[in-house]
Amino acid sequence: NFLLETLRVILFTIYYPVEALIKLLIPPRMKDVSGEIVLITGAGSGIGRLMALEFASLDVSLVLWDINEDGLKETARQVKEKGASSVHYYQCDCSDRAVVYRVADQVKNEIGDVTILINNAGIVSGKKFMETPDALIEKTLRVNAMSHFWTYKAFLPTMIAKNHGHLVSVASSAGLIGVNGLADYCASKFAAVGFAESVALELTAEGKDGVKTTIVCPYFINTGMFDGCGTKWPRLLPILKPEYVAKRIVSGILSDQVYILLPWSLYILLAVKCLVPHKQSVILGMYFGAFNFMDAFKGREKKRD
C-alpha cells in the first residue's frame, strides 16, 4: 500500500533523528559483557593490544590472534597484569583462509563460541599503485578485507543461531574517502566497510537483531603503522592517539554504536564528499592535504635480528 508505506517512512524519518539527538545528549547505557568471549585479531601490538587492555577489567574471556607470537605473549602478559582472569592467545596468519579456519576450530573446541568478534588486523604498503608489487597488493587485500570473510564464516553461524553476538570491523577513514598513495590500502578498507555493511543488512533482514554490528573508521593513528605521515590541519584532522581510539571503540561496542568515525570532522567531510561536484572535491582534497599525506611515509620499523 503506497500511502501506508509512505506514511511509515515519513514518521520514522522524523522519529529516528530525534532519537539520535536524545542519545547524543544523554549518554547511552552500557551493556554488560561479563562472560562474553571476545576475539581480537591483530592483538600483538597497537590498537589490538590497547583494546585487549580495555576489556581486561570487564570480566570477559579474551582470545588474542596475531601472526607475531612474541607480540601476543607481551599483550597477554599486560592484560593479565591488568586483572584479566581468562586470556588465551593463538598465532594466526589472518591472510590464510585455511589457517583462520583451523585456528577458529581450535578456539571453539578449547574456549567456546566467540560472541564478540573484532576484526582489527591490518597492514599497509605505503607505496604508489604502480610501484606496489602484485604480491603485496594481494597480501593487503587478504589481511585487511578477505580475513573478515573467513572469521565471519567461522564464528557468525553460532551468533545467528543464538541471536546473540557482536561483529566489529576496524576499518579506516581510507575506507570512506580515497587517498593519494594508498590505492591498495583504500581498496581493502572500502571492501571491509562494504562487506560489514552488507552483512549487517542481511542480519536485519533475517530479524537477527541480537547480533550487533560496529564499523570503525578512524583517521591516521599514532601507532607506528603510518609513521612519517602528516596532517595539514591538525586541529581539524589530528593524528589520533591510540589510547583514545581504543577507548572509543570499546565504548562504542558497549553502547552498540553502529558507526564510529574519528575524529568528528570526518562526518562533515564525508557528507561534503557526497554533495559537492567532483572537481570541487579534488580542490577540497588538496586543501585538506589528502594529496600529500603519504609524502614522508616511513611506516613501522622492522625489528632487526
Q: What is the DSSP letter of 155?
A: H
Helices (H), the chain: 2-25, 46-55, 69-81, 97-110, 134-141, 147-162, 183-205, 242-254, 265-275, 278-288
Query: What's the CA gap between 4 and 11, in Å, rounded?
Result: 11
C-alpha cell at 188: 581493502
Query: What's the CA gap between 115 and 35, in Å, rounded?
Result: 10
Q: What is the DSSP letter of 240?
A: B
C-alpha cell at 257: 554504536
Classify 221 as helix, strand or coil.
strand
Q: Which of 185, 219, 244, 267 is catalytic?
A: 185
Query: What's the CA gap between 304 and 121, in Å, rounded?
Result: 22
Active site residue 89: no
Q: Which of 109, 112, 66 is nearest to 89 (CA)?
A: 66
Q: DSSP states of 184-201 as a string?
A: HHHHHHHHHHHHHHHHHH
Query: What's the CA gap between 151 and 96, in Å, rounded?
Result: 11
Instruction: Tell me which H or E stretch contains 66.
Output: strand 61-66
Q: What residues are annotated to the active site?
A: 185
